[in-house]
Amino acid sequence: MTQSKTDLRVLRTRKLIMDSFIELSGKKEFKDITIKDITIEAMINRATFYYHFKDIYDLLEKVLSEVLLVNLDCEYYQNNELNEEALVNIFKAITNFHKSLSHRCHRGYEDTIARIIREQLEIIFYKMLLNQHPTKDKEALKLTTTMLSWGIYGASLEWGRNSTVPPEEFIKLVIPSIMYEID
């Protein structure tokens, strides 16, 4: 009984730290945010911060991963097959994630952001393709997921730079090619 209370407190404190970081990132550049800023905002001490995160970069990675997972609704996709609707929804989630980051000044951390997005996409695509092709060679599926994740990530960057059309229209242009390669 006591353990579950402790677990809830730990989860609440972790969320408080992450929320404080998100709040601060709306006001300051990432490079200007300090552990002290976060501890003051969250009303915790440094030891509590370090109990939950190794450093500010670990916090950045965890916050980005969590926000992305919420955007992607991973559990839903991992239990389904890869189809046009799933690709459109995943692409929209990635473009929304990019838009939300552009408001938060995470310049200079594009590599971290890109890695997190690609890793999460690889997990989702692998599970979806495994559902669709349970007898297919696992290494071939992993390579396919790598190509898909890099492609979707690259397309989302291109959409953000140059596109005037909604993300769903943008990605629908290449879905026939993607689906042909997957089947």
| Percent of the chain whose predicted confidence (pLDDT) is above 90 | 36
Round to whole Å and give the CA distance between 36 and 88.
41
Task: Please state, in angstroms and rounded to a whole number, the distance separating the CA atoms of residues 144 and 162.
Answer: 27
pLDDT at 2 over 60: no
What are the residue ranges spanned by the domains of the chain?
Answer: 2-53, 61-182
pLDDT in tens, 66-100: 877 777 776 677 667 888 888 898 999 888 887 77
CA–CA distance from 79 to each of 16, 56, 102, 124, 126 (Å)? 31, 33, 31, 9, 11
List the structure tokens of 93: 């989630």
Q: Smallest Cα–Cα separation from 35: which of 15, 14, 50, 19?
A: 50
User: Judging by beta carbons within 10 Å of its beta carbon (0-12, 13-18, 19+), is residue 78 exposed, middle or buried?
Assistant: middle
Query: Which 3 state secondary structure label does DSSP give 28?
Result: coil
> How far apart, in whole angstroms, are the C-alpha atoms of residue 63 and residue 145?
24
Q: What is the pLDDT of residue 115?
A: 87
Distance, CA of 128 to CA of 44 (rounded, Å): 41
* Cα dihedral: 153, 156, 161, 166 (round 10): 180
CATH fold of the domain at 2-53: Arc Repressor Mutant, subunit A (1.10.10)
Residue 170: how many CB atoms within 10 A of its CB? 20
**Given a cut of 60, is residue 103 above it in pLDDT?**
no
Distance CA 49, CA 53 (A): 6
